[in-house]
Amino acid sequence: MGRRGKPSAPGALLFISHLDDPAAWKRELTSRIPGLGYRVGPGLTDADDVEVALVWAPPPGELKRYPNLKAILSLGAGVDHILNDPELPRGVPIARLVDPMLTRLMSEYVLLAALRHHREFDVFERHQRRRLWEYRFPPDAARRRVGVMGLGVLGADAAAKLAANGFAVQGWSRRPKRIAGARTYHGPRQLERFLNATDVLVCLLPLTPATRGLLDRRVFAALPKGAFLVNPSRGALLVDDDLIEALDSGHLAGATLDVFHREPLPRDHPFWRHPKVLVTPHIAAAGYPETAAPQVAENVRRALAGRPLLHPVDPEAGY
């Protein structure tokens, strides 16, 4: 039956993820929406009843198989794992995940990484391996300038928590934005000024055509000598070789990286062994069914009723 045809059964949700627990999501959603059909994909043969898809990294070409699809809901805050499907059905609205727990986890990660660099635990970890006892004291946090790229749900929360911990915080976004306690910049023309005044660069941008490869040698050169990079956004924003060059030349002092071009990070990648790089395995933050379900359930209800979604994605902008 085609997209315009009447579905043969009440609306069903299609769940696809190799990382998330389908049973936990089923519990949370079917208890909130009585009668909701719940089907786990990919590759359903009878697909006509599927009206909403809740997905993480669906196989390319998969979503076009569901002719009555009214909404695609992301199981993550980012949507690059959906938009990168060349056969994505056109005109089906997409929504991001906004989960208070995910936001809290991301801010913890950012704060921990910023404090680790600020208090030089990365240096002390290296010293311990050499049994080296050396006094080092940090500057006042108010003189450590943390620059947050991306001031959306995650960037704004991280900026507020960094400011609450005494850092001098500034942010950069696409459009002008006000954040309490932070100086803000926007657009490509203000990027260099933002970078020139950033000691710890935190990237919380989405992966889009405009941000792919943004963290390159020009960005690193615009940072002051001794700056740090914290990247829990997406690996494809970073030009790996440019970072290694900036670290090896001594221009950058260290990097905390959670996301990579290829995941798992290949065993022979130089980041694994680089003394100034901390690798974490894409664990900065995740959506939790218990805390994210109210927002997802509301979007399922909206999709089934043909109403606009919460946290919609602009496919043109790519986020």
Ligand X SMILES: NC(=O)c1ccc[n+]([C@@H]2O[C@H](COP(=O)([O-])OP(=O)(O)OC[C@H]3O[C@@H](n4cnc5c(N)ncnc54)[C@H](OP(=O)(O)O)[C@@H]3O)[C@@H](O)[C@H]2O)c1
From the list 184, 185, 168, 183, the residue with the least C-alpha distance to 118 is: 168
The yes or no reply on residue 184 touching ligand X (CB under 6 A) is no
**Of the residues 116, 161, 234, 302, which one makes contact with ligand X according to CB under 6 A:** 234
- Which CB sits closer to ligand X, 162 or 304? 162
The yes or no reply on residue 319 touching ligand X (CB under 6 A) is yes
Q: Is the peptide bond before 294 cis (omega within 30 degrees of 0)?
A: no
**Of the residues 47, 285, 296, 303, which one makes contact with ligand X according to CB under 6 A:** 285
- The amino acid that residue 308 corresponds to is P
| Window 46-85: contact mask with ligand X (x via CB under 6 A) | ------------------------------xxx-------
Judged by CB under 6 A, the number of residues near ligand X is 31
- Which CB sits closer to ligand X, 154 or 200? 154
Is the torsion defined by CA of 291, 297, 303, 306 positive or negative?
negative
Query: What is the full DSSP assignment across 51-89?
Result: EEEEESSPPTTSGGG-TT--EEEESSS--HHHHT-TTPP
| Window 124-153: contact mask with ligand X (x via CB under 6 A) | --------------------------xxxx
**Of the residues 11, 58, 147, 206, which one makes contact with ligand X according to CB under 6 A:** 206
- Which CB sits closer to ligand X, 2 or 209? 209
**Of the residues 20, 48, 51, 258, which one makes contact with ligand X according to CB under 6 A:** 258
Active site residue 234: yes
* C-alpha pair distances (Å), 318 with each of 54, 74, 83, 172, 314: 18, 13, 7, 18, 6
Q: How far is the CB of 105 from ligand X (least distance, A)?
A: 8
Instruction: Report the chain's C-alpha Rg in angstroms.
Output: 22
Residue of 117, 144, 234, 302 marked catalytic:
234
Candidate ranges 26-34, 83-91, 169-177, 194-202; the one touching ligand X (CB under 6 A): 169-177
**Beta-carbon count within 10 A of 317 CB:** 11
Q: Three-state DSSP class for 20?
A: coil
Candidate ranges 33-41, 58-66, 281-289, 290-298; the one touching ligand X (CB under 6 A): 281-289
**Of the residues 175, 189, 225, 262, which one makes contact with ligand X according to CB under 6 A:** 175
Distance CA 141, CA 201 (A): 15
Q: How far is the CB of 303 from ligand X (least distance, A)?
A: 20
Q: How far is the CB of 25 from ligand X (least distance, A)?
A: 17
Sequence-ordered list of residues with C-beta below 8 angstroms from that of 239, at least 6 positions apart, any chain: 213, 215, 216, 217
**Of the residues 211, 256, 295, 299, which one makes contact with ligand X according to CB under 6 A:** 211
Distance CA 265, CA 231 (A): 14
From the list 40, 46, 81, 96, the residue with the least C-alpha distance to 66 is: 46
Classify residue 179 by its DSSP letter: B
Distance CA 270, CA 259 (A): 14
Q: How far is the CB of 316 from ligand X (least distance, A)?
A: 12
Q: Convert 57-86 to b/e letters by CB count within 10 Å (16 or more is b).
A: bbeeebbebbebbbbbbbbbbbbbbbbebe
Residue of 104, 282, 307, 311 marked catalytic:
282
Q: How far is the CB of 14 from ligand X (least distance, A)?
A: 22
Q: Which residues are catalytic?
A: 234, 282
Residues in touch with ligand X (CB under 6 A) = 76-78, 102, 106, 150-155, 173-175, 177, 204-208, 210-211, 232-234, 258-259, 282, 284-285, 319
